[in-house]
């Protein structure tokens, strides 16, 4: 469920009419619903009710400061994958003891930043990382709390580019080598083992892969405890999918996921961490765009919009589907037209949809790309020298621009011409 609905034939974000915001902000822009963000966080928190747990928002999905502040105020922890994300989390007021540092390529500088600023744990992904973290911790006279990310070799049944839990993926250590790696960690004076980490992918649409991975984690927990390690925390990752296509069957609900976690791991006495990102932010955002031209091709009509692949790269990168709807609701019974919906960038890959049936549209009409709150703005760029587009947050009857659109001068002036040119 989200809070983007038609009221009197006009698309609204909560209590704000989308055309009203567009008139003040200009198009294109990302538009987020605070009510939807809050609701989705609470669904996960309630799903694990009765277990010691922390919901750590995976901020790679959407790292705007306003979104992070909203999440932090609800009690969320943060899952970060870079020094920049760590700094963003801290700037939003999240305390270090609620920040989990993931990622396969942490630098020594990033490790030092987190150890000095406070950290809940590092999810260590390799022996070289473990050695580096131990060195940094000893140099600072501190002890780094760690879990080791294990790769359970489980097929998440998702897109190949967002699967992370198979043996050929770059993430984690093979679960078959876990005892060896934990024994190595236990000998390092700068590290303290606190648990196990696992994450098998993103946009999962069924629970079976999770259950298979978590059963392996359960067995590993018992093995490591028998070998003398303290395993008090299980970081289970994130990845639960969202319904990008409203006509498709919905992925499992957080409550169903939570019940599976309780049944599989509930009697181990471990604190549970989960790291949802897409399911919290995805359907909490839309991308509002304007039709520039309707162009007649040889055998199709092109709807050319002022949004491009630099603003929303998911369709070009993953062949991802986004429902695209008119901001002004079509009249009942009107005959629809199949459009190829494309952007203005000089790439054939700048295509959002092919043969998408929509009510007839014309230049100046507004359309909305649904499910754009995750991996939209954070993956955008200035390709073709197109300025980054604004982000807007709605909360009831009010809205605010939470990232301004830079001017062309702002964009150009970031470059420097050497004196010798």
Domain-wise residue ranges, the chain: 4-31+282-412, 34-279
Helix axes 254-265, 34-47, angle to 10 degrees: 20
Active site residue 270: no
| pLDDT for res 251 | 84
Higher pLDDT pick, 205 / 126: 126
280 pLDDT more than 80: yes
Nearest-angstrom CA–CA distance, 284 and 276:
13
| pLDDT for res 327 | 98
Q: Provide the mean pLDDT of the chain.
A: 93
Q: What is the pLDDT of residues 364-408, one digit of tens each?
A: 999 999 999 999 999 999 999 999 999 999 999 999 999 999 999
Nearest-angstrom CA–CA distance, 298 and 294:
13
What's the mean pLDDT in 11-39?
A: 98
**Closest CA relative to residue 287, chosen from 311, 269, 303, 265:** 311
What tokens appear for 414 in the block?
């970031």
| pLDDT for res 246 | 67
327 phi/psi in degrees, rounded to 5: -70, -35
Candidates 226, 332, 334, 346; catalytic one: 346
Band (pLDDT 50/70/90 cuts) for residue 164 is very low
Do the beta carbons of residue 253 and residue 259 sit within 8 Å?
Answer: no
| pLDDT for res 159 | 45
Q: What is the pLDDT of residues 299-352, one digit of tens each?
A: 889 999 999 999 999 999 999 999 999 999 988 889 999 999 999 999 999 999
What's the mean pLDDT in 151-179?
A: 65
| pLDDT for res 157 | 53
H helices present in 94-230, as ranges: 108-117, 127-140, 178-186, 208-226
Nearest-angstrom CA–CA distance, 229 and 147:
11
Q: What angle is formed at CA 238 by the lines to CA 249 and CA 380, rounded to 5 degrees? A: 85
Do the beta carbons of residue 163 and residue 185 sit within 8 Å?
Answer: no
291 pLDDT more than 50: yes
Q: Which residues does 93 contact at the CB level (< 8 Å), separation at least 6?
A: 69, 72
Q: What is the pLDDT of residues 193-248, one digit of tens each?
A: 999 999 988 788 889 989 999 999 999 999 999 999 999 999 999 888 887 876 55
pTM, rounded to two decimals? 0.94
Band (pLDDT 50/70/90 cuts) for residue 165 is very low
Q: Which residue has the tokens 């939470």?
A: 402
Nearest-angstrom CA–CA distance, 409 and 411:
5
- The dihedral built from the CA positions of residue 366, 369, 372 and 376, taken in this order, carries a sign that is negative
Question: Fold for domain 34-279?
Answer: TIM Barrel (3.20.20)
Domain made up of 4-31+282-412: CATH architecture: Beta Barrel (2.40)
Q: What is the pLDDT of residues 97-124, one digit of tens each?
A: 999 999 999 999 999 999 999 999 999 9
Q: What is the pLDDT of residues 343-352, one digit of tens each?
A: 999 999 999 9
4-31+282-412 and 34-279: same fold?
no
Nearest-angstrom CA–CA distance, 90 and 240:
26
| pLDDT for res 170 | 54
What tokens appear for 215 in the block?
């059963």
H helices present in 270-376, as ranges: 278-281, 314-318
């Amino acid at each position: 469920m989200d809070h983007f609905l038609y009221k009197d034939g006009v698309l609204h974000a909560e209590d704000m009419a989308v055309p009203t915001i567009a008139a003040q902000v200009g198009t294109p822009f990302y538009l987020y619903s605070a009510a939807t963000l809050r609701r989705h966080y609470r669904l996960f928190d309630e799903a694990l009710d009765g277990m010691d747990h922390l919901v750590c928002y995976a901020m790679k999905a959407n790292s705007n400061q306003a979104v992070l502040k909203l999440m932090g105020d609800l009690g969320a922890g943060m899952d970060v994958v870079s020094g920049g994300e760590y700094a963003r989390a801290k700037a939003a007021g999240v305390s270090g003891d609620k920040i989990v540092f993931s990622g396969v390529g942490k630098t020594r500088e990033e490790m030092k930043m987190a150890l000095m600023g406070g950290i809940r744990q590092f999810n260590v992904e390799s022996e070289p990382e473990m050695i580096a973290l131990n060195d940094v911790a000893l140099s600072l006279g501190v002890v780094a709390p760690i879990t080791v990310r294990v790769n359970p070799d489980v097929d998440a049944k998702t897109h190949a580019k967002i699967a992370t839990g198979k043996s050929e993926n770059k993430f984690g250590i093979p679960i078959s080598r876990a005892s060896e790696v934990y024994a190595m960690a236990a000998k390092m004076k700068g590290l303290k083992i606190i648990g196990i980490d696992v994450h098998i992918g993103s946009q999962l649409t069924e629970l079976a892969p999770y259950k298979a991975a978590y059963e392996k984690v359960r067995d590993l927990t018992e093995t490591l405890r028998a070998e003398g390690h303290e395993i008090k925390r299980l970081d289970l990752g994130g990845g639960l999918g969202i319904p990008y296509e409203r006509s498709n069957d919905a992925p499992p609900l957080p409550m169903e996921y939570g019940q599976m976690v309780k049944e599989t791991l509930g009697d181990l006495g471990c604190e549970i961490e989960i790291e949802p990102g897409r399911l919290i932010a995805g359907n909490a955002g839309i991308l509002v765009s304007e039709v520039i031209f309707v162009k007649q091709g040889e055998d199709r009509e092109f709807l050319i919009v002022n949004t491009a692949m630099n603003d929303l790269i998911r369709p070009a990168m993953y062949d991802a589907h986004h429902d695209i709807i008119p901001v002004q609701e079509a009249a009942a019974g009107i005959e629809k037209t199949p459009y190829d919906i494309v952007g203005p960038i000089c790439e054939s890959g700048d295509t959002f949809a092919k043969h998408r049936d929509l009510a007839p549209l014309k230049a100046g009409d507004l359309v909305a790309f649904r499910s754009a709150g995750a991996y939209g703005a954070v993956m955008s760029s200035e390709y073709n020298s197109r300025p980054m587009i604004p982000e807007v947050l709605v909360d009831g009857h009010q809205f605010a621009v939470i990232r301004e659109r830079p001017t062309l001068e702002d964009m150009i002036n970031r470059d420097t011409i050497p004196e010798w040119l």
